[in-house]
């Protein structure tokens, strides 16, 4: 294929693009691939997770604007394009029983109607490959699960001229992947590598809680070598200052250990309209030479 390669990553909130598949995107940008992040919500209901910024009245009052600026900075660091789909953050309900979701939020939208915005973006950008979350959302946040739902609808509908005729000329993406960077083999490998070196591991509790978030083991089909871009990934993540503590658990594994023990980011191939051989080391496998 001599046509420009294009990758679209569909995420729920600003910061998700930097914690899930960021090194992969930076790698493809370096190779000349056109990469677009579609951000479903503005992250308006996200908690301020960085303890250094908690209690700041300006941030609390202007969280929507602050998170947009953080996204702008992360986008520049990664070298990607980015578009907002314009939905309102649903928040993460907590308690027993769980409280109802806020009226008008993303997770309460009609799936087919909401997918129309993504169909329009797909038909405009024309990606061959799309990445998003699995049916569990990666973890059960209502916005992540809704992101999965609208992406599945949009992947099928974007190429159908009878669907969403107002959204532009049809375009059929060829492959759809689920982000699976937070997978059990990677977590175990890094955990054991740290313990073998006599170091504390941040992953002990993750492994204990694993069954809460995952109903079954995922199938990892695609391993993207991107260790050279881990530092860019971390810089983009730190740009989301309200969400990420630079002294927190995200950054406790030394970079040299990460690169040595687990130098890839992982994906699960969910749909493919081209022939490919598994496992893959390229999201565009089966596309580049067709």
- C-beta separation of 227 from 30 below 8 A: no
Which of the four pLDDT bands, split at 50, 70 and 90, describes residue 281?
very high
Across residues 57-73, what is the average pLDDT?
A: 92
CA dist., res. 113 & res. 126, Å (int): 20
- C-beta separation of 212 from 12 below 8 A: no
Higher pLDDT, 284 or 211: 284
Say whether pLDDT at 256 is over 70.
yes
Q: Give CATH for domain 6-183+219-272.
A: 3.40.50.10320
141 is in an annotated binding site: no
240 is in an annotated binding site: no
Across residues 104-127, what is the average pLDDT?
A: 98
Burial class (CB in 10 A: 0-12, 13-18, 19+), 34: middle
13 is in an annotated binding site: yes
- What's residue 211's pLDDT? 65
Convert the pLDDT of each residue in 85-94 to its tens digit.
999 999 988 8
Its pTM surpasses 0.75: yes
- C-beta separation of 17 from 243 below 8 A: no
Distances from the Cα of 64 to the Cαs of 30, 43, 89, 91, 174, in angstroms? 30, 7, 10, 13, 34
Which of the four pLDDT bands, split at 50, 70 and 90, describes residue 214?
low
| Tokens coding 208 | 């204990």
Share of the chain above pLDDT 90, in %: 78
Say whether pLDDT at 71 is over 70.
yes
Domain boundaries, the chain: 6-183+219-272
- What's residue 107's pLDDT? 97
Residue 62: partners with Cβ closer than 8 Å, 6 or more residues away: none
DSSP string, 7-28: EEEEESSTTHHHHSSHHHHHHH
DSSP-assigned letter for residue 23:
H
> What is the overall mean pLDDT for the chain?
93
Which of the four pLDDT bands, split at 50, 70 and 90, describes residue 194?
very high
Say whether pLDDT at 263 is over 80.
yes
Across residues 45-59, what is the average pLDDT?
A: 86
Angle at 219 between CA 268 and CA 290, to 5 degrees: 40
Which of the four pLDDT bands, split at 50, 70 and 90, describes residue 48?
confident
- What's residue 215's pLDDT? 58
Nearest-10 crossing angle of helices 230-239, 22-30: 120
Q: Which of 173, 194, 180 is nearest to 118 (CA)?
A: 173
Which of the four pLDDT bands, split at 50, 70 and 90, describes residue 49?
confident
């Amino acid at each position: 294929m001599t046509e420009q390669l294009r990758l679209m990553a569909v995420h729920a909130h600003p910061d998700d693009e930097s914690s899930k598949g960021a090194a992969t995107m930076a790698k493809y940008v370096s190779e000349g691939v056109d990469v677009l992040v579609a951000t479903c919500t503005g992250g308006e209901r996200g908690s301020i997770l960085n303890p250094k910024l908690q209690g700041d009245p300006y941030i609390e009052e202007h969280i929507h604007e602050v998170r947009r600026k953080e996204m702008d900075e992360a986008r520049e660091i990664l070298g990607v394009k980015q578009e907002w789909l314009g939905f309102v953050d649903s928040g993460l309900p907590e308690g027993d029983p769980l409280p109802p979701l806020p009226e008008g939020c993303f997770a309460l939208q009609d799936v087919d109607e909401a997918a129309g915005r993504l169909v329009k973006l797909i038909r405009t950008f024309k990606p061959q490959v799309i990445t998003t979350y699995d049916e569990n959302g990666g973890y059960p946040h209502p916005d992540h699960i809704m992101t999965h739902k609208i992406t599945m609808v949009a992947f099928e509908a974007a190429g159908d001229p009878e669907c969403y005729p107002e959204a532009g000329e049809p375009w059929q993406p060829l492959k759809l992947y689920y982000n699976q960077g937070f997978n059990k083999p990677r977590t175990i490998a890094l955990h054991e590598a740290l313990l073998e070196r006599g170091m504390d591991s941040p992953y002990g509790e993750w492994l204990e809680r694993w069954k809460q978030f995952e109903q079954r083991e995922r199938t990892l089909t695609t391993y993207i070598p991107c260790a050279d871009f881990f530092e860019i990934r971390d810089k983009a993540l730190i740009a989301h200052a309200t969400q990420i503590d630079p002294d927190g658990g995200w950054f406790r594994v030394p970079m040299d250990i990460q690169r040595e023990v687990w130098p890839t980011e992982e994906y699960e191939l969910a749909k493919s309209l081209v022939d490919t051989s598994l496992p893959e080391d390229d999201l565009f496998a089966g596309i580049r030479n067709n």
